[in-house]
Amino acid sequence: MAGRVSRRQAFSHNHEHGDGADVKIAGNIAGYFLVLIGAIWALQGLNLLGGSFMTGQYKWLIIGIAVAIIGIALLFWANRQRRPGP
């Protein structure tokens, strides 16, 4: 059985190099979620998407845009090119 790697060995090997893949995945998920929620809130604030207490409220347009911008910034941060370590 030479050449077989246990799950524990594979897990520790993948995570001991600290390549940041988990952070990138989490950042992408959170970023896309924030952009989606921000867009929905902004559309409700503009009265283009009805069915909520936020519909037609200018306040929710501003909050939605702010949340979407935070989501876009998070996406850029999660996907930035990292410099190789020493």
In this prediction the pTM is 0.71
d(CA 15, CA 42): 39
Condensed to tens digits (0 to 9), the pLDDT of residues 2-32 reads 567 666 555 555 555 566 789 899 999 999 9
d(CA 43, CA 65): 9
In a domain, 49, yes or no: yes
In a domain, 47, yes or no: yes
pLDDT at 54: 87
- Both tokens of 24, joined, read 């990138």
Percent pLDDT > 70 in the chain is 72
d(CA 42, CA 39): 5
Number of separate domains in the chain: 1
Question: Residue 69: which domain range?
Answer: 39-79
